[in-house]
Amino acid sequence: MDKLNLDRADKNFKKELTRQPGGEKISACFMCRSCTASCPITAVNDTFNPLRIIRMALYGLKAEVLKSDFIWLCSSCYACQERCPQGVSITEFMTLLKNLAVKAGNMPQGIRAQRDTIKGEGRIYPIDDFDNKKRAKAALPPIPTSCEAVEKLFPPARN
């Protein structure tokens, strides 16, 4: 990865993050690398590095973080969060960054597809009559093939 260019830093980014759930304690990070050492993703692909992401965020590299592909590699396994000696909710912080990235227009196709399916159908794998036939054959009860509540909870105006 390239060197960090601090000339482009956004000094307000840290404040913006610490005001939101998941970001409250990131300033407590003292760079021990427990997160990176515990991360199963870093172990197979070092473009994902939780410590580096936290530092980038603290330095105010907003665009570099929110437009990156790497934030999406977090598997939300909580290995880092459970071990952080400073009590930083690292996994929740990664979720916050992903949520902000979506608002900034950065969202992988697969994640978008999941969101659209769930908000449209109420399930990630919608059930059809064929599924229910297979369920009936195995003596399992039928599952509704549509979900009215999801339309009420997420009307087009809210999305």
Residues that bind other proteins (CB under 8 A): 21, 40-41, 43-45, 48, 72-79, 81-82, 89, 91, 95-96, 98-99, 102, 107-108, 110-115, 118-119, 122-125, 127, 131, 134-135, 138, 140-141, 143-144, 147, 149-150, 152-155
In a 13 Å sphere around the CA of 147, the CA atoms on its Cβ side amount to 19
Shortest spacing between CB 52 and other proteins, in angstroms: 17
Q: Angle 86-87-90 (CA atoms, 0-180°, nearest 5)?
A: 105
Cβ of residue 155: shortest distance to other proteins, in angstroms?
A: 7
Instruction: CB nearer to other proteins: give 6 or 113.
Output: 113
The Cα–Cα gap between 84 and 140 comes to 44
Dist CA 159 CA 87 (whole Å): 33
Q: Which is nearer to other proteins, 4 or 132 (CB)?
A: 132
Question: Hey, what are 75's tokens?
Answer: 């598997």
Half-sphere exposure of 67 (CA within 13 A, CB side): 4
Q: Output Rg (C-alpha) for the chain, integer angstroms.
A: 20
Give the three-class secondary structure for 139.
coil
Least Å from the CB of residue 145 to other proteins? 11
Which of residues 15 and 116 has its CB atom nearest to other proteins in the complex?
Answer: 116
With respect to other proteins, which residue has the nearer C-beta, 50 or 59?
50
Sign of CA dihedral 66, 72, 76, 82: negative
**Which of residues 9 and 91 has its CB atom nearest to other proteins in the complex?**
91
For the bound state, the minimum distance from the C-beta of residue 80 to other proteins, rounded and expressed in Å, comes to: 11
